[in-house]
Amino acid sequence: MKSFKVDEDQRNPVLVSDFSDVELPPLREVPGMTSASEGRYLYWLASSQLSGEGELVEIGSWLGRSTMHLAAGLRRTGSQENLHCFDGFAWGPSDPQKSDLPLRPGDNFQAYFEANLADYSDLVSAHRTRIANIAWTGQPVEVLFLDAPKKLTEITRCLEVFGPSLIPGRSIIAIQDYQYFPAYALAACMYSLRDCLELIHVVLDGSTVAFRVTAPVDLVSEKPSDWQLNRWTVEQVNSAWQQILAPLPEKARERLEPGRALHLYDCGAKREAIAAMKALPMTPFQQDKIGGLARGHIYLSYPELFTAAGFPGSPKQNLLVHVKRARDWLRELRA
Ligand SMILES: C[S@@+](CC[C@H](N)C(=O)[O-])C[C@H]1O[C@@H](n2cnc3c(N)ncnc32)[C@H](O)[C@@H]1O
């Protein structure tokens, strides 16, 4: 397996890999939003890294690509654990770009998920729910795979519900999109939980990382005070991001690093945010990613940052920025 220790000083070195040496069993072709490396990682995780002390929970299954890799891993070991999949199963407006199923936005697609997972129906159970309403039995959870929560409220909700069931010293929280900078809240939240988590896996050619739970995660009785991500000071943001980025390999760092600029911007530190954007090495990957995103909706939230990165947006986008700001201002005034 291609792997290396990022930081020799760390007590528990981080496994960094594209998991290309993992041999998968024959699997169905299921459309998905997780990469081939992430699929191999999930299979490897479920087939070789678990003790059987708890259940597996996936939040955000879509049509079941990641689910299938986890389930195939469980099947390989003959494990008795179940894989519980939570999803709203409501077809999203951008889903038709990734699948040509005959569905309209809002349609329930749980039946397609279940058909794709038919070979594993003895191991997998689907729970149709929004994250806001998610509930759990309280059974121990050995793997919590998050691929739906990307924002603070959703992440904290998942951790409130499943945190008490995570087993210190054993459970793993694997997070898709951790390396995707627009979802920087994931990294900032995990940083806030740094006293009970340690980074253990970084998937290359994907955006998943995983943490081992080292101490009880109980956000119900003890909410960390610094979770209001948009209230951090510039010093707090900079110090956090130094620690977030330090253990990551270069390929993961270049994916996540623009998140520091977005975080500063959301804290109202626009000058520092622009400086952070300008200070990026602007590797070809960053150029490509930031340039691609600049054409989308996210531009309206961070126009100065994309402009600082060399992507000033079209006249239509900049007009929409003014409309959005006027609308936000009115909303605040009413509130
Ligand atoms: C990125 S996709 C998951 C991709 C999947 N893991 C794969 O391998 O292809 C995110 C999924 O999370 C679900 N989701 C997003 N926000 C949600 C919410 N607030 N409540 C419930 N489900 C949600 C969506 O319905 C979607 O199926």
| pLDDT mean over 46-71 | 97
Report the pLDDT averaged over residues 165-183.
Answer: 98
Separation of CA 147 and ligand 1 centre (Å):
6
What homologous superfamily does CATH list for 15-227?
Vaccinia Virus protein VP39 (3.40.50.150)
Dihedrals phi, psi of 24, to nearest 5 degrees: -90, 150
Computed over every residue of the chain, the mean pLDDT equals 94
Q: What is the pLDDT of residue 220?
A: 78
Query: Using N-to-C axis directions, what is the helix angle for 258-266 and 284-294, rounded to 10°?
Result: 40
Task: Report the atom number in ligand 1 closest to the C-alpha of 154.
Answer: 19
What is the amino acid identity at position 303? P
79 pLDDT above the threshold of 90: no
pLDDT beyond 90 at 37: yes
Residue nearest to atom 27 of ligand 1 (CA): 62
Strands (E), the chain: 15-17, 55-59, 83-87, 124-128, 141-146, 172-175, 197-203, 209-213
**Cβ–ligand 1 contact at 34 (below 6 Å):** yes
Ligand 1 site, residue 32, Cβ cutoff 6 A: yes
Domain with CATH 3.40.50.150 in the chain: 15-227
Ligand 1 pocket member 87 (CB < 6 A): yes
Percent of the chain with pLDDT over 90: 91
Q: Which residues pair with 317 in a beta bridge?
A: none
What is the C-alpha to C-alpha distance for residues 124 and 112, in angstroms, rounded to an integer?
14
Instruction: Supply the pLDDT for residue 304.
Output: 97
Q: Kindly indicate the confidence band of residue 222, based on its pLDDT and cuts at 50, 70 and 90.
A: confident
Give the pLDDT confidence of 240-257 residue by residue, as tens digits: 999 999 999 999 999 999
pLDDT given at position 226: 64
Q: Which residue has the tokens 């003959």?
A: 78
Q: Which residues contact 185 (CB under 8 A, 6 or more apart)?
A: 150, 151, 152, 155, 229
User: Measured from the CA of 66, which atom of ligand 1 is nearest?
Assistant: 8
Residue nearest to atom 8 of ligand 1 (CA): 66
The whole-angstrom separation of Cα 306 and Cα 265 is 12
pLDDT at 256: 98
Mean pLDDT of all residues in 70-85: 94
pLDDT interval class at 162 (50, 70, 90): very high
